[in-house]
Amino acid sequence: MTPFTKLTAIAAPLIRDNIDTDAIIPSREMKSTGKTGLAEGLFSAWRYLTPGGRDPNPEFILNQPAFAEAQMILGGTNFGCGSSREHAVWALAEYGIRAVIAPGFAPIFAGNCTRNGIVPVVLPAEAVAEIAADGGPVTVDLEQQRVSLGDGRHWSFDIGAEARAMLLEGLDAIDLTFKRRAEITAFQAADRKARPWIYLGELPA
């Protein structure tokens, strides 16, 4: 997973409350169990003129030239609600989205973001609206936990220590566990001596 430290990019304003995972990636667009091949179906019900079609809807924000290269999304409250499908985050990541800034996220969606290299930034609705009104590049600095605009306006945001570490170091949940490999191995060795009867064979290397 690509580490995230600091990014300055265009943020596409999609400020609607309760954008659910079926809006992010409709079930008809989920044609594989892998992480690739999903970007084309991102927001397909809004992005294209007809269901299942591929004729761009010129009214949709990501189809507008000013936001064609957006790497961030500005959202509304409860972003990513609905089902727990991780495909929604995979589709965003494959499209090139590295951060979503919103007043709040569905917890499972936020967790899926951090495990796939997308920073879920929580800011007050007023701040999100101010960033959208500016229209210029936005900087998300994960090390400083700050969002800023070109004119110096800035906002701090909170993020859990584990999520921050995963994003900064580009770790998934398994990588994060393996950082404690020495502790795990030591525990297994001690436990084998204390309870040898529960081990059927040698410990794996």
Whether the pLDDT of residue 70 is over 70: the answer is: yes
Shared domain check, 19 and 62 = yes
Q: Are both 115 and 53 inside the same structural domain? A: yes
Non-local (6+) Cβ contacts of 116 within 8 A are 1, 35, 86, 89, 90, 93, 172
Give the residue from 12, 113, 130 showing the smallest Cα distance to 63: 12
Place of tokens 């494959």: 94
H or E segment to which residue 8 belongs: strand 6-9
Let me know whether 181 and 126 are in one domain: no
Of the pLDDT bands very low, low, confident and very high (cuts 50, 70, 90), residue 31 is confident
The b-or-e profile of 159-178 (16+ CB within 10 A means b, else e) is: beeebbebbeeebeeeeeee
Residue 11 in domain? yes
pTM for the structure as a whole: 0.89
- Express each pLDDT in 76-116 by its tens digit: 999 999 999 999 999 999 999 999 999 999 999 999 999 99
Dump pLDDT digits (tens) for 105-150.
999 999 999 999 999 999 999 999 999 999 999 999 999 999 999 9
